[in-house]
């Protein structure tokens, strides 16, 4: 009996050790397996056995620079994790991001999805489920077409007038230094509010980040970008249903704003007689509600998913592009001079129209070059190789391997984009034949590619093509950044926004005395 008791006691004492040994063996076996299956792909040694290196690259906010350097060292395919390969070959874009949808989004995107009280809100951009994506996109896709978005131009114009009124009052008339980077983002946010809810968020009038919405979005991506490199952390913490239930209910300020606008609109529509003059039947929110009434199969949460997607991704991408264009024009005066000559020779309205902007080839070249040299998204668009496996850029990958192209890497391919790929050179889009230009356009990943590309890209283009020429034909800008080199600062948290972009502003000598703010 004593012997039996001793054996049982010894077994109990050893059981934790056995569990630890078993777990270690399982981990080691998995590591060796993944190491071997991608052993033919070059890359840093530690990245072959752990995701910690790519976590740290993102954590240090310079991942795009690290990715470019790695591809220049190792070639078009670089192993960046035990099961992740970065693809720098533009020829692989159509295969990975094609309209067939066979390459599903990786778990990086699951980290992006917001969660409250155990409930995950699927999003048009981040959902991994192709069925959910089709359900969300199908009813509203036409609303985002450029032919339809031109009908939103009056809303963009009204926000542009407020923008110019504020910079005139605060900076042009006073000579004060303008944080143009911040004001361009406030402009982009207020346009989104105007076209989505017929209600600006109030950034421009107040000259600040109202309710810290911009700050909330930035903090959100400060978390999701590095954690997206190791998604199990998110499942253990933020997406843990038990932990989520213990947190206070509610979304962030951005989500709360969207929910509040939806509630107001739905109540107003219920009382049509008393709200006839207050309802805009043509903004995004009204069109979303209209689609939900037409199709009863659309779940109620789709309305919040649609409106929140507009706010989340609809301003940062635009602001980053606007900053890139204006900053580089100021840093390269000969390109600014060429663009101003084009604007001065054109017959343009006080507020440049979308139709007029399409007649300005050098403006178009500057906008394309901005999307090339500084794309808004600074990490690979991760996808999962289908279960049958695939050959990518001449190498075989087993099903389940995570692959992805980074726009920052692909846009620096000299075979496609020519020489001086690290340099701002809008002329590359004009000094080439039609075939080469088409090749460059097909290799741009500014807003992604294929059926999962950013649905709101036309909103961004509408804002950019109108604001840039109107701003530059009206004001003379002088770069005055705070550091010794007169340069801005970049931080990569999936979005790659710019900071410390300051200018001094005055009216151009050729501008007539009448003010833009007059109606």
Cβ neighbours of residue 274 under 8 Å, at least 6 residues apart? none
Environment class of 206 (CB within 10 Å of its CB; exposed 0-12, middle 13-18, buried 19+) = exposed
Q: How far does CA 300 lie from the centroid of its chain?
A: 26
178 annotated as a binding-site residue: no
CB 82 within 8 A of CB 35: yes
SS3 79: strand
**Residues 340-346: contacts with CB within 8 Å, 24+ apart?**
340/472, 340/473, 343/469, 343/472, 343/473, 344/473, 344/510
Q: What is the dihedral of CA 418, 422, 428, 433, to 10 degrees?
A: 20
Phi, psi at residue 453, to the nearest 5°?
-70, 165
**Residue given tokens 């790929």 in the structure block:** 421
Distance between CA atoms of 50 and 43, rounded to whole angstroms? 12
DSSP string of 243-297, one letter each residue? HHHHSPS---HHHHHHHHHHHHHHHHHHTGGGGGGG--TTSHHHHHHHHHHH-TT
Q: How far does CA 427 lie from the centroid of its chain?
A: 26
Length of the chain as a residue count: 519
DSSP string of 283-294, one letter each residue? SHHHHHHHHHHH
**Residue given tokens 């409930």 in the structure block:** 119
Q: What is the dihedral of CA 88, 57, 312, 292, to 10 degrees?
A: 60
Q: Residue 2 belongs to what H/E stretch?
A: helix 2-37
CB 426 within 8 A of CB 335: yes
**Residue given tokens 């600006």 in the structure block:** 200
Distances (CA, A) of 399 to 67, 91, 188, 216: 24, 20, 40, 37
Residues annotated within a binding site: 454
Annotated binding-site positions for heme: 454
């Amino acid at each position: 009996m004593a012997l039996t008791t001793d054996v049982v006691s010894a077994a109990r004492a050893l059981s934790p050790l056995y569990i630890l040994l078993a777990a270690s063996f399982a981990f080691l076996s998995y590591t060796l397996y993944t190491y071997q299956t991608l052993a033919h792909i070059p890359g840093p040694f530690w990245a072959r056995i752990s995701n910690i290196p790519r976590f740290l690259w993102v954590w240090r906010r310079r991942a795009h620079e690290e990715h470019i350097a790695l591809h220049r060292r190792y070639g078009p395919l670089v192993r960046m994790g035990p099961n992740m390969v970065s693809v720098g070959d533009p020829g692989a874009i159509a295969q990975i991001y094609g309209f067939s949808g066979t390459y599903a989004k990786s778990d990086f995107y699951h980290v992006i999805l917001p969660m409250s009280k155990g409930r995950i809100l699927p999003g048009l951009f981040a959902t991994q489920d192709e069925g959910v994506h089709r359900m969300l996109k199908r009813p509203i896709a036409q609303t985002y077409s450029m032919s339809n978005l031109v009908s939103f131009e009056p809303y963009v114009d009204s926000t542009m007038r407020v923008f110019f009124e504020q910079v005139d009052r605060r900076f042009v008339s006073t000579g004060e230094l303008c944080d143009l980077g911040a004001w361009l983002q406030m402009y982009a946010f207020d346009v989104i509010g105007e076209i989505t809810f017929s209600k600006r968020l109030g950034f421009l009038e107040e000259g600040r980040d109202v309710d810290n919405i911009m700050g909330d979005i930035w903090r959100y991506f400060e978390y999701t970008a590095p954690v997206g490199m190791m998604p199990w952390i998110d499942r253990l913490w933020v997406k843990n249903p038990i932990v989520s239930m213990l947190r206070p209910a509610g979304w962030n300020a951005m989500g709360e704003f969207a929910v509040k606008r939806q509630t107001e609109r739905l109540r107003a529509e219920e009382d049509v007689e008393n709200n006839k003059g207050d309802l805009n039947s043509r903004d995004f929110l009204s069109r979303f509600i209209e689609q939900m009434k037409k199709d009863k199969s659309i779940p109620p949460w789709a309305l919040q998913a649609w409106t929140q997607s507009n706010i989340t991704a609809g301003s940062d991408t635009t602001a980053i592009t606007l900053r890139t264009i204006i900053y580089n024009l100021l840093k390269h005066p000969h390109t600014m001079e060429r663009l101003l000559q084009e604007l001065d020779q054109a017959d343009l309205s006080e507020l440049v129209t979308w139709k007029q902007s399409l007649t300005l080839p050098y403006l178009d070249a500057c906008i394309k070059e901005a999307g090339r040299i500084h794309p808004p998204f600074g990490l690979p668009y991760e996808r999962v190789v289908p279960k049958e496996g695939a050959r990518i850029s001449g190498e075989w990958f087993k099903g389940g391997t995570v692959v992805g192209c980074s726009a920052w890497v692909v846009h620096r391919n000299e075979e496609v984009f020519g020489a001086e790929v690290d340099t701002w050179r809008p002329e590359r889009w004009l000094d080439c034949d039609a075939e080469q230009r088409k090749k460059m356009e097909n290799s741009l990943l500014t807003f992604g590619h294929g059926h999962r590309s950013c649905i709101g890209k036309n909103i961004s283009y509408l804002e950019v093509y109108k604001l840039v020429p109107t701003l530059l034909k009206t004001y003379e800008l002088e770069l005055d950044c705070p550091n010794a080199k007169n340069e801005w600062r970049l931080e990569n948290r999936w979005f790659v926004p710019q900071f410390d972009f300051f200018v001094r502003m005055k009216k151009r000598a050729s501008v007539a005395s009448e003010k833009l703010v007059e109606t």
